[in-house]
Copies of this chain bind each other. A is one copy, B any other.
Amino acid sequence: MAGAEFWYEFASTYSYPAALRVGALAEARGVSLVWRPFLLGPIFAAQGWRDSPFNIYPAKGRYMWRDLERTCEAMGVPFRRPEPFPQPSLLAARVALALKGEVRAAFSCEVYKAEFGRGLPISDRETLASLLAACGADPKATLERAESDANKAALKAECARAAEIGIVGAPSIVAGDGEVFWGNDRLEQGLDWAAGRR
């Protein structure tokens, strides 16, 4: 079965619609999908950015918010601009990485819906605990695993890996042969590539 990776960052705006779309798109193409949470911070820092480029470049930020609003409207999903933006995403990323397979995917979608659909603070432990419970995971045990030294190190390694394979933003699809496709706009193209339909 053809495989692909979905690389995402919880603070990333376009990762919200992408996370809600990618599962069905992969399934329709017979592509087995691995969800890989990571942090854009180290990648942005390597470019000299200490904040979201959407904050550093206000004109781009204005465009993006309007564009995201239109995208969500077209999909029929709710949209609320998170305050503050970007949301601190470290804990949510650690929790997602501490989960496996379908539970990781389900939890990740719940985080995005809470953050961009309901305006909830995703750095809040209780918010994450209730999302975990909603996905059938044990909140206390998962949070403990998330904050173990091994899991913290694993997330750092994921971030290093993202940079190494040429990821420059989120979301990104990485096909089995290493081709990278960046953006919510490119999910179809990346998954087509992964499925061998060039």
**Which residues of A are interface residues toward B (Cβ below 8 A)?**
43, 46-47, 57, 59-60, 62-63, 66-67, 70, 74, 163, 166, 168, 179-183, 185-186, 198
Contact = CB atoms under 8 A, between A and B. Distances in A.
Contact of A183 (B163, B185, B198): B185
A198 B166 contact: no
B63 A180 contact: yes
A179 B67 CA distance: 9
B47 A166 contact: no
B59 A166 contact: yes
B166 A63 contact: yes
A168 B47 contact: no
Contacts of A180: 63, 66
24 contacts: A43-B59, A46-B59, A47-B57, A47-B59, A47-B60, A57-B168, A59-B163, A59-B166, A59-B168, A60-B168, A62-B166, A63-B166, A63-B168, A63-B180, A63-B182, A66-B179, A66-B180, A67-B181, A67-B182, A70-B179, A74-B198, A183-B185, A185-B185, A185-B186
A161 to B, nearest CB: 14
Contacts of A62: 166
A20 to B, nearest CB: 18
A168 B163 CA distance: 26
Contacts of A63: 166, 168, 180, 182
A175 to B, nearest CB: 11
Contacts of A47: 57, 59-60
Nearest to A43: B59
Contacts of A166: 59, 62-63
